[in-house]
Structure 1
C-alpha cells in the first residue's frame, strides 16, 4: 500500500514554494515536502522556517521572519519536515534512533523511513535533530567579547574573548570551546607595557547518549596556559561517564566522572627541578543550567581534577553567571570565573603563585 504525505496549504501573499517529491528506494512511500519545515503551535498558528532541534522538551525553530525561537514541546501540535530528521524515541524499555521525514499530528509523530512508516506517541519522543547533512542544520555556535579600557596617567586594558561551537544529533553531542584573557598596563611616560594576566583554555568533548539518563564521554580534552600561574602549557585527555541528575524543561543538571592523563610544562622551575610533570587524573564535573524566564538563564559549570602533588594536587575551575537574551541573536553575559590550584608550582626565583584567580566579565555575545 502506498502512503502519501502532503504539505497543508497555507494562505500567504507570497507565491506557493516549489514542491519537492522524494521516493524511497522501493517506491513504497512518496513524501511530498516544501522547501521549509512547518510547525503548528497549540494556538493553531503556523510557522515556516528551519527545525533546528528538540532536546529536553524544548523545540528550537528558526523562523524566516521571526528568527530563532524556542518553544516548549507541549506547545507544538504539528510538524512537517522539509528533509530528513534524526529521531530518538522510547519503545518500552528500548531507546531507538531512526532517520526519516517526520509529520506530527494528533499527538503522534509519523516517521517515513526505508519504505516504511513508523508511528511514535509524542510523549515518547526524546530528541530530534537534522539529518540533512547540511552544516548549518547540525552546528550551532556563539562568540563573546568583553573589554575594558582606561586612559590617563597610565593606560589600562583587558579583554576576554570566548567562542563555542556545538554539533548535536539525536544520539550524540560534540562541543569545542575557547576562552582567552589578557590584561595589561602601559605607562604614559615611559610607554612600557606590562601584562598582568594572560591565559588561554581550549576544551573539547564528545558525548554519546546511552539512554535517557546516562551518556559516555568518549573524548574529554583540554589545553590550558597561564604564565602568571607558572603554567606554560597543560594538556589533559581522557574519558568519562555522565549522568543526567535532573533533566526537566527549565532545569538540567549533569554530572561526570572519569580518568584522564595530564602533562604539564611549567614556565620556569627552581634549579634542579624538572619543568615538566606527568600525572594520572581523576576528573569530576558538574554542569547546572536553569531557565529563570524566557530571557534569562543561570549556568554553573564546575570541574575538579585530582592530580599528583607536583602537578597541583587539586585543580578547581568554576564558571558561573547569567545569560540575558537581548535579541534573537545577541545576548549579554555576566560571568564569574574562579581558578584554584591547591599546590601551585614555584618559579625559578622561588616565588609561589597565589592559589586563587578570580575574574568577573561582562560580555556581549552573538549566536548563529
Structure 2
C-alpha cells in the first residue's frame, strides 16, 4: 500500500529511515563530506586543515578539513599530532575522533589534536609530486634557430619534512652555413630539505644550487647553505613562504683574468608565493637573491614567475618569465663585459605525475 494512503497513526508505527552504509572496498581510500557525499580514491596528504584527495571520478581535489565528515584509509598512514607525536596505522576519522589500528591494536585520539596525514608506505608514488615541462621553438628559412626549455620539479612530503628539487635547462642556437652558434646555454639545479618545527616556522636543513650560464661567463657556480623559513600565509588559496640564511659559494668562469675559482660567503634571501586563481589556474612568484663578494657578482638574483593552466588532470600549459641578474658581471679575458640582466619568456607543456 502506498505510504500516502496510510493513516497518521499507521505512519507513526513505521520504522525510521536510515541511510544505507556503503561497502568499503579495500582497494580504495574513502572520504565522506558533510554533504553526505562519498568519494573513493587515494589520500594524498593533510596539512594545515586541508586534505588532498585524488578522487577516481574528479581527480586531485583539495578539501577544507571542516568539510570532512569521515575518512578511511586502505594503507597505513603516518599521523602527526599537535604534541609532536607521530603514530602509524590504518586510519579512521569519524565523530570528532581519530582511530588508528596497527598490529591488531586500536588507539583513539581527539580529532582536535590532529596536525597532518601522510602515507606510511615509502614505496608509494603518492609520496612524490613530479612535474616535467618542455617548451620548443624551431625557426627555419632565412633564420635557422632552435630554442628550447626543459624543466623538472620533484617534491616529497612527510609529517616532518619536505624535500624539493628543481632543474631547468635553457638552450638556443642559430645555424649559419652549417655551423652551430650557441646563443643561450644556461642550466640551474636547486635542491632543499625543510624540517617543520610547527605550523609556521620551518628550518631549511640544506639548500643547494648549481648554475651555469654561457651569457654571463659562468662555467659553474655552486652554493650550499642553510636557512630558517616562515609561512607568512598558508591557506587554501595562498601560500607565501620566506627564508633567510647563510651559505658558501664557489664560482668558476668561462674566461677570466683570475685563474683561480672565486669563493665567497653568502647571505641568501628568498620568497615563494603560490596563489590559486581558479580551480585550474595557479600563479607562481619565486624570487631569490644572494649577497656575495664583488668578485663573485656582488648581488645574484633569480626570478621565476608566471601562470600554470591545467587543461586535463595530468597536463598543463605553463607561461613563465625567467629573470637573472648579476649586479657585477665578471669581464672575460678579451675585456667583454656581459650585460647584467637576462630575460626569457617561455610557453611550455607540462605533465604531472602524482
Q: What is aligned with 2:35?
A: 43
* Contact 1:260–1:281 (CA under 8 A) maintained in structure 2: yes
Q: What is aligned with 2:111?
A: 121
Question: Size of the alignment, in residue pairs?
Answer: 333
* Contact 1:88–1:98 (CA under 8 A) maintained in structure 2: yes
Structure 2 CA distance for aligned equivalents of residues 117 and 223 of structure 1: 47
* Contact 1:267–1:275 (CA under 8 A) maintained in structure 2: no
Q: What is aligned with 2:226?
A: 239
Shift in Å, 1:107: 3.4
Equivalent positions of 1:52-71 (< 5 A) are 52-71=44-63
* Contact 1:69–1:328 (CA under 8 A) maintained in structure 2: no
* 2:30 is the alignment partner of 1:10: no
Q: What is aligned with 2:12?
A: none
Equivalent positions of 1:355-366 (< 5 A) are 355-366=340-351
Shift in Å, 1:309: 0.8
Q: Which of 45-54 and 59-68 deviates more?
A: 59-68
Equivalent positions of 1:312-331 (< 5 A) are 312-331=297-316
Structure 1 residues 319-363: Cα deviation after superposition (integer angstroms, max 9, x where no partner): 111111111111111111110011011111111111001111111
Shift in Å, 1:365: 0.7
Shift in Å, 1:275: 4.3
Structure 2 CA distance for aligned equivalents of residues 78 and 135 of structure 1: 23
* 2:121 is the alignment partner of 1:137: no
SS of equivalent to 2:286: strand
SS of equivalent to 1:137: helix
Shift in Å, 1:116: 4.5
* 2:330 is the alignment partner of 1:350: no
Q: List runs of 5+ in structure 2 lacking aligned partners.
A: 1-19
TM-score by length of 2: 0.89
Q: Which of 202-211 and 52-61 deviates more?
A: 52-61
* Contact 1:251–1:289 (CA under 8 A) maintained in structure 2: yes
* Contact 1:268–1:275 (CA under 8 A) maintained in structure 2: no
Equivalent positions of 1:153-232 (< 5 A) are 153-187=142-176, 190-232=177-219
SS of equivalent to 2:125: helix
Q: What is aligned with 2:65?
A: 73
Structure 1 CA distance for aligned equivalents of residues 97 and 320 of structure 2: 41
Q: Which of 96-105 and 357-366 deviates more?
A: 96-105
* Contact 1:97–1:171 (CA under 8 A) maintained in structure 2: no
* Contact 1:68–1:329 (CA under 8 A) maintained in structure 2: no
Structure 1 CA distance for aligned equivalents of residues 145 and 49 of structure 2: 46
Q: What is aligned with 2:80?
A: 88
Shift in Å, 1:112: 3.4
Shift in Å, 1:41: 2.0
Structure 2 CA distance for aligned equivalents of residues 317 and 214 of structure 1: 24
Q: 1:56 to 1:357 in 2, by over 3 A?
A: farther
Bigger Cα Rg: 2
Structure 1 CA distance for aligned equivalents of residues 284 and 100 of structure 2: 35
TM-score by length of 1: 0.86
* 2:268 is the alignment partner of 1:283: yes
* 2:285 is the alignment partner of 1:300: yes
SS of equivalent to 2:215: helix
Q: 1:107 to 1:296 in 2, by over 3 A?
A: farther
* Contact 2:48–2:199 (CA under 8 A) maintained in structure 1: no
Structure 1 residues 109-157: Cα deviation after superposition (integer angstroms, max 9, x where no partner): 33335734132325x4332110122231311201011111121112112
Q: What is aligned with 2:259?
A: 274
* Contact 1:269–1:275 (CA under 8 A) maintained in structure 2: no
Q: What is aligned with 1:3?
A: none
Structure 2 CA distance for aligned equivalents of residues 98 and 361 of structure 1: 45
Structure 1 CA distance for aligned equivalents of residues 297 and 194 of structure 2: 28
